[in-house]
Amino acid sequence: MKNKTNFLYDIFILATFIIGCLFLLSIYYQKDSKEKEYFNENIYTLDIAYNASVDKYHLFTKQVFNDILKNELVIPLFEKGVNSNGDIRRLYKGLLYKELYPSYSNLREEGIRQFHFHLKNNESYLRLHSPNKYGDNLSKVRETVKIANKENKTIINFETGRVMSGFRNVFPLSYKNEHIGSFEIGISTKVILDSISKLDNRREYSFILKKDIVFPKLFENHKNLYQKSIINSNFVIEDKYSSLPDSPKKLSPIAKKINEVLMGNKELKEVMNKGKKYGLFVYLDSTYYDVTFIPMWGVSKKIEGYLIAYKKSMNIPFLITNGKYIYFLVLLGMISMIIMIFIIKKKTIIFEEQKKWFKSITDELGEGLYVMNKNAIVTYVNPIACEILGYKEEEIIGKNAHILFHSHSLNNNSTHKDCPIFNGVMKTKSFSSREESFLTSDGKNIPVSLNSRMISNDDKEVQIITSFLDISIQKKLEEKSNLLTKALESSINCVVITDKNAIIQWVNPAFERLSGFKAREIIGKNPKEFTSSGEHTQEFYQQMWKTILSKKPWKGEVINKRKDGTLYDEELIITPVLDEDGDISNFVAVKQDISDRKIIALEKEQKDILFYQQSKMAAMGEMLGNVAHQWRQPLSLISSTATGSKLEKELNLLSDEDFYLRMDNINNSAQFLSQTIDTFRSFFNPSNSKKMKFDIANTIEKTLNLISSQFVSKDITIIQNIKNFKIISSENELIQVLVNILNNSRDVLIQINNQKRLIFINTFRKENLLYIEILDNGGGVDKEIINRIFEPYFTTKHQSQGTGIGLYMSQDIIKNHLNGNIIVSNESFTHDNIKYMGAKFTITILLDD
Amino acid sequence: MYKFLILILLFVFPFYCLNAKKILVFAPLPMKDIDSIYSQFSPMIKYLEKSLNVQVKIDHNNSYDVILQKFIEGKIDIAYLGPLPYLALESQYTHVKPLVNFKNKEGKVSYTCSLVSFMTNSIDIKNISNEKIALTQPLSTCGYLFVNNILKKSNVNLEENRYRYLGKHDEVALSVIRDEFKFGGLKSEIAKDYYHLGLEEVAHSESIPNFILVGNSKTLNKEELLNIKNKMIQIDKKELSLWHKSIKYGAKETNDSDYIHLKEIIDSTKIPHKGNF
C-alpha cells in the first residue's frame, strides 16, 4: 500500500514537474517568438535604413562619376598618364590631380572620401585623398578593384582597405573603348552611419570589422589604429580613438557599457562568426536596450564587418520584460505544487501508516470491533469480530448488524428499531452492557460484553463503533472462580492467603472459626502478630521461611494461639505462589486443626505401645517356645549322657575315654544352650533396637537361628536366595518383622499335610530399594481378607494361637520405624515341577548408598 | 566593517598606483594631415609605450603656436618639433629639454627644406616678384625662414611677392601642384612624396638640424627624460624598419652646437605671423 501510494504520488510529482517544465518551455518559446518578432522588426528597419543609405550614396557616387566623365579632360589626362612614364606621366598625373581636386574638395563636404584611380593592373595610380601614396598593387587587398578591372564592370560594396574601410564604388574606365583602369569613389563608414542616423536617430550606430579580413590589408603603420572588439575578438574597432576626421564618432558611455555586457555572450559570438543578423536585449541601469547586428558582406561573399545599432527599447512585449518574473512565478508555482504534493504524500503515508497501525491494532485487538452507520449497516469489522461471529468480513460488511448477529431470541425478539444497543447509543451516544448476546453464523448464542460509542464528523455523518468480547469463557471462569471461592469458603480446612511479605490478604471462614479472629481483624496483618504461641524456636520459623522462600512448599505441624489465648495444633502447608516471572507473589497457607488428631495419635501411640508390648510378649512367648524347643534336645542329651554315664560308672563300664567324650558332649550342649540364650537375649535387648549398619544376609541368618528349630520340627524347608547388602536400620525390629512373617507362614504351612512345606526367602536390589520377599506355598491369603491382614487384632487363627497384632506391628515397624513398606500378595509358582500357590510378603527398605 | 574596507583600500591602492600606467602626451608637428601623422608616429608610439611601460596619447594640433603654448603650460610631455619651433620654445621656456635628433638616410641628424614649383612653371626665382608663394607656418623652419633665406640668396625679396601660410607641408606641395601657388617652401623629404604629381625642387637649403624630440622637465623628471632619450637612441634596426621614413633611421643625442647657425639666421630674420595677401 505504501509503495502504491508512493508510486502514485511520485507519478503526480513527475507529472507536475513535466507540466511545469512544459509550461516554462511554452513561455520560453513564446518569449523567444516575441523576441524574434521584435528583433526581426528592428533588423528590418535597420536593414532598410542601412540599404537606403548605401543606395543613396551609390546613386550619388554614380552621379558624381557621370559628372566627372562629363569633364572631357579627366579620361584623356588619365589615359595619357597611364600610357606614358617619367616626367610626362608626372605631368599628366599632376594635371589630373589639379583637374579633379576642386570636385573632390567640394564632394568631401558631401561625404565623398576617396577619389582613387587604379591602373588596369590594379596598381594605385592616384589617390586624391592621399596623394603622396601611390604605386602599390591592390590586387590582394582590394577585391572590388580587382573585379572591376577584370570584369570591366561597376562594383559597389563595402570593403576594408589599406588605410581605412568604406563603401566602395569602383567604376571601370575606358578610353576609346579600351579599358585603361578604374576609378573609385569611396564613402567613409562615418558618412553611411550619419546617413542612417538621419533616417533613424533613435539609434546609435557603430561598425566593427572582421580582423582576419582587414589586418592583412592594412599598412603596417595603420594597425595601431585598430583595437580588438570586446564583443567578439574576431572583430576590431577602426580608429579606436576616433582621432581621424572620417572615423565614426566615439561610442557613447552607455553603448560602451552595453558592449561590456555583451562581452561574454557566446551565442552572439557564434552568430557573428556565422554572419547572421541578430538582435538582443541588454538590461542596464534599469533600462532595456536592444542591440541589432547586421553583417556587411564583402564582394567575395565574406563577412567584412558588422553594423551595430544600439537603441533604448520601446514597446517591449510584456512577456519579454517580465519573462523572468513569469518564469519565477511558474517555477515557484511548480515548486510549491511539488512541495505541497510532497507534504500531502508524507501526510498520506503517515495517514496510511496510522490506518495500517490502527488496522493492525483492531486486527490484533482481543475484542471484536465493528462500525455501523445510523442505519445499523456495518461499515467495518475487525478480524476477531469475524472470528467470534463466524462470518467472513464480506458477509458482515454492508449488512444490518442487528438483523445479522444481534440475538433476537435472547433480546426479546426485538426489531432493529428496538435494538437496545442501537437505541442506547443513538440516545445517549454510548452504550455498555455485559448482558447482550450475539448470534454466531452457526446459530449459537454467545454472551458478549460490549461497548458502543457514537461519533459524528463535521459532515454530521454518524458512525457507531462497537467493541465486544465473547465472555463465554469469562462467564465459565467466573463460575469456576465463584465455585473456587465458595469451595475455599466452605472448606473445613483453614485457608490463609498472604502477599509475599506474609501480610494477610484473605482468610476463609474456617480460619475465622479456628482462630476466633474475624477476617476484617486480621487482613493486612502478619500472622505472627496474633497467632504466635511461643511454642516453637526461632530456628523452626527460620527453617520454614527458608523453605518457602526457596519456592518450595513447607509442611509441618504448628502450635498456634487462638484469639482467646488457647493453643491448638494445626497441620500447616504453606505453598508459595509464583507470578509470571517466577517470583513469589503470594503464599497460600492451608491449615487444619489437628488437635483431635493429635489426641487420637497419642492414643494410638499409647495403643501401639500396648500392642508393642503385647507383641513383645507374644514374641517372648514364641521365643520362649523356641528356646524351650531348642533347649529340649541339648537338655535331653545332657540328661541322657549324665544318666547313662552315671549308670555305666555304677556298672563300672565307663571308661575314661568315654567319660571325657561324654563330658565334652555335655559341655558342648551347655555351650549351645548358652549361645541360644545369648541369641534370644540379644533379640530382646532394647539397645539393639537402635539404628546401625548391618548385613541383611547376617540378619536373615540370625532370624532363622531364632526360629529354625520349630521349622525343622515342622518339616518346613526354608529355601534361601540371599544377596547381601548393607543397610542402616534397626536390625532387631527387622528381625521381629521377619519372625512374625515366617511364623505366620509356619502356622499356615503346618496345616498342610499333602505336600512339601516350603518357604522361599529372596533378597535383591532394585534401583535404591532393598527387596526382601518371603513366599510360602501355603495356598495364599483369602482375597476377601487380604486387604485386612495388617489391621490390628485381625487374625484368622484360633484365639489361643494368635493375637492379631503381629502383622499390624510388622507394618508399623516397617513403615514408621524403618521408613519402608510392606505389602502382601498371592502368587502361584512352580518348584520342582510342582505348581504352588502362596502368600508373598514383600518388604522394601531404602538403601542408603 | 567600514574600517575593514578602508584597510583593504589602503592596502590595495599603492599596488593599483604602481600598476597604473603613466600617460605621456605627445604632440607632433602638424606638417601633414591627421591620417599621415598617425601613420607616421604609430610605430614610435607603440615602441615607447612598450619600452617605457607608459601610455602615449597623441595631442594633434594644427598650429605650431598652440603646440608651443600647450608645452609651456605643461599639457604636453614630449613633442616632435622642427628646429625653428624648438629654438622658439627654448627661448621662452627653460623646461624644454632636447632629447634626440632623428637621423636621415645618410645617418646625419639634419634635413633640408626645398623650394618647389610645378614642373610646367618656367619662372626663374631670380626674377620673381608678386608671385604667389605657399608657406607652411611662421614657426616652421621650412616656412618663411627658409624661403626668405633662399630667395635672399637670389636677391629676391619675399616681401615683394605674395606669400601665405598654409599650415602643413603637404598642403604646400599640393597647392603648388594645383597651381594655386607658383612656389612653395617645405621640407625636402615631404616634397619628394609629391614629385610623382609633377612637383619639382627649385632650390633647397643647407643642412638644418633635423627634427627633434623634446621633453618637458616640468612634467617629467630627470630619470624619465633620460629613460626616453636612451630608449630612443637604443632602438634596434628591426624595430626601426617598421617606422615611417622620416624617423626610421634612428636618433642621436641632441647637440646644441648644431643650432648655432640656425639661431643666427633666426636672430637676423623677423618672421611675420601672417601672410601678406
In the DSSP assignment, the letter for residue A250 is P
B147 interfaces chain A, CB cutoff of 8 Å? no
Max mean pLDDT range (A120-134, A216-230, A409-423, B240-254): A120-134
Alpha-carbon Rg for chain A, nearest whole angstrom, is: 72
| Chain A partners within 8 Å of B198 (Cβ) | 87, 90-91, 93-95
Whole-number Å distance between alpha carbons of A132 and B172: 13
Q: State mean pLDDT over A573-588.
A: 90
pLDDT band at A567 (very low <50, low <70, confident <90, very high): confident
Q: State mean pLDDT over A637-648.
A: 82
List the Cα angle A533/A536/A540 in 5-degree steps: 135
In the DSSP assignment, the letter for residue B32 is S
B120 interfaces chain A, CB cutoff of 8 Å? yes
Query: How many angstroms separate the CA of residue B193 from the nearest CA in chain A?
Result: 5
Q: What is the pLDDT along chain B (277 residues), one digit of tens a residue?
A: 445 455 554 554 444 444 567 899 999 987 777 777 887 888 899 899 999 999 999 888 888 889 999 999 999 999 999 888 899 899 899 999 999 999 888 888 888 999 999 999 988 888 888 999 999 988 888 999 999 989 998 899 999 999 999 988 999 999 999 999 999 999 998 999 999 999 999 999 988 888 899 999 999 999 999 999 999 999 888 888 888 888 888 998 988 888 888 888 888 888 898 999 8
| Chain B partners within 8 Å of A223 (Cβ) | 42
Query: How many angstroms separate the CA of residue B262 from the nearest CA in chain A?
Result: 29
Examine the pLDDT at A844 and tell me if it is beyond 50: yes
Query: Cβ contact (<8 Å) for B195 and A90?
Result: yes
Average pLDDT, chain A: 85
| Chain B partners within 8 Å of A97 (Cβ) | 174, 177-178, 197
Q: What is the pLDDT of residue A458?
A: 64
**β-bridge mates for residue A466, sequence order:** A370, A452
Give the DSSP per-residue string, A814-840.
IIIISS-EEEEEEEEEEETTEEEEEEE
pLDDT band at A482 (very low <50, low <70, confident <90, very high): confident
Q: What is the pLDDT of residue A801?
A: 59
**β-bridge mates for residue A776, sequence order:** A759
List the Cα angle B155/B156/B158 in 5-degree steps: 140
User: Do the Cβ atoms of A527 and A496 come closer than 8 Å?
Assistant: yes
Q: State mean pLDDT over A563-570.
A: 87
Alpha-carbon Rg for chain B, nearest whole angstrom, is: 21
* Of residues A411, A397, A408, A409, the one with CA closest to residue A369: A397
Query: Cβ contact (<8 Å) for B35 and A98?
Result: no
Of B35, B43, B45, the CB nearest to A130: B35
| Chain A partners within 8 Å of B45 (Cβ) | 224
User: Do the Cβ atoms of A574 and A552 come closer than 8 Å?
Assistant: no
Residues 6+ positions from A661 with CB-CB distance below 8 Å: none
Give the DSSP per-residue string, A284-352.
ETTEEEEEEEEEEE-TTSSEEEEEEEEEE--S--HHHHTHHHHHHHHHHHHHHHHHHHHHHHHHHHHHH
Distances A493 to A262, A392, A570, A573, A599 between C-alpha atoms, Å: 112, 52, 10, 11, 18
Nearest chain A residue to B58, by CA: A243
User: Do the Cβ atoms of B98 and B241 come closer than 8 Å?
Assistant: no
Examine the pLDDT at A657 and tell me if it is beyond 90: no
Q: Which residues of B9-25 are buried (b: 16+ CB within 10 A; e: fewer)?
A: eeeeeeeeeeeeeeebb
Whole-number Å distance between alpha carbons of A228 and B206: 46
Q: State mean pLDDT over A460-489.
A: 82
**In the A/B pair of chains, how many CB contacts fall below 8 A?**
79
Distances B215 to B70, B89, B98 between C-alpha atoms, Å: 13, 12, 6
3 state DSSP class of A138: coil
The tens digit of pLDDT for each residue in A246-285 reads: 777 788 889 999 999 998 888 999 999 888 999 888 988 8
The pTM is what? 0.52
Query: Cβ contact (<8 Å) for A219 and B39?
Result: yes
The tens digit of pLDDT for each residue in A701-732 reads: 988 887 887 788 888 999 999 999 888 888 88
Query: Cβ contact (<8 Å) for B36 and A220?
Result: no
Query: How many angstroms separate the CA of residue A104 from the nearest CA in chain B?
Result: 13
Whole-number Å distance between alpha carbons of A171 and A192: 20
User: Do the Cβ atoms of B194 and B60 come closer than 8 Å?
Assistant: no
The tens digit of pLDDT for each residue in A495-552 reads: 999 998 889 999 988 888 888 889 888 889 988 888 888 888 888 888 998 999 999 9
Q: How many CA atoms lie within 13 A of A121 on its CB side?
A: 6
Examine the pLDDT at A647 and tell me if it is beyond 50: yes
Query: Among A371-385, A446-460, B214-228, whose mean pLDDT is lowest?
Result: A446-460
3 state DSSP class of A479: helix
> What cell numbers appear for A346 in the block?
508524507
Query: Cβ contact (<8 Å) for B35 and A163?
Result: yes
Q: How many CB atoms lie within 10 A of CB A589?
A: 23
Examine the pLDDT at A605 and tell me if it is beyond 60: yes
Query: Cβ contact (<8 Å) for A219 and B178?
Result: no
User: Do the Cβ atoms of B163 and B145 come closer than 8 Å?
Assistant: no
Query: Cβ contact (<8 Å) for B177 and A97?
Result: yes
Q: State mean pLDDT over A473-482.
A: 79
Q: State mean pLDDT over A75-101.
A: 94
Q: Which residues of A330-368 are buried (b: 16+ CB within 10 A; e: fewer)?
A: beeebeebbeebeeebeebbeebeeeeeeeeebeeeebb
| Chain B partners within 8 Å of A219 (Cβ) | 39
Whole-number Å distance between alpha carbons of B267 and B263: 6
Whole-number Å distance between alpha carbons of B102 and B243: 12
| Chain B partners within 8 Å of A241 (Cβ) | 58
3 state DSSP class of A798: coil
Examine the pLDDT at A238 and tell me if it is beyond 80: yes
Q: What is the pLDDT of residue A293?
A: 93
| Chain B partners within 8 Å of A134 (Cβ) | 196
Higher pLDDT, A618 or A765: A765
User: Do the Cβ atoms of B88 and B37 come closer than 8 Å?
Assistant: no
Examine the pLDDT at A770 and tell me if it is beyond 80: yes
Q: How many CB atoms lie within 10 A of CB A74?
A: 20
Higher pLDDT, A634 or B140: B140
Q: Which among A89, A95, A219 is the top mutation candidate for probing chain B, defined by the most B β-carbons within 10 Å of its own β-carbon?
A: A95
Q: What is the pLDDT of residue A435?
A: 77
Interface of B with A in 19-78 (CB under 8 A): 33-36, 38-40, 42-43, 45-46, 58, 60
Q: State mean pLDDT over A315-331.
A: 84
Q: What is the pLDDT of residue A713?
A: 80
Q: What is the pLDDT of residue A1?
A: 55
Examine the pLDDT at A245 and tell me if it is beyond 80: no
Q: In A714-799, where does DSSP find H-type helix? A: 731-749
What is the enclosing helix (H) or strand (E) of A764? Answer: strand A757-766
User: Do the Cβ atoms of B93 and B71 come closer than 8 Å?
Assistant: yes
Q: What is the pLDDT of residue A735?
A: 86
The tens digit of pLDDT for each residue in A660-714 reads: 888 888 888 788 778 777 766 766 666 666 778 889 999 999 888 878 877 888 8
Question: Cα-flanking dihedrals φ and ψ of residue A736, to 5°?
Answer: -60, -40
User: Do the Cβ atoms of A373 and A357 come closer than 8 Å?
Assistant: no
Whole-number Å distance between alpha carbons of A19 and A26: 10
Query: How many angstroms separate the CA of residue A102 from the nearest CA in chain B?
Result: 9
| Chain A partners within 8 Å of B244 (Cβ) | 221
In the DSSP assignment, the letter for residue A717 is E
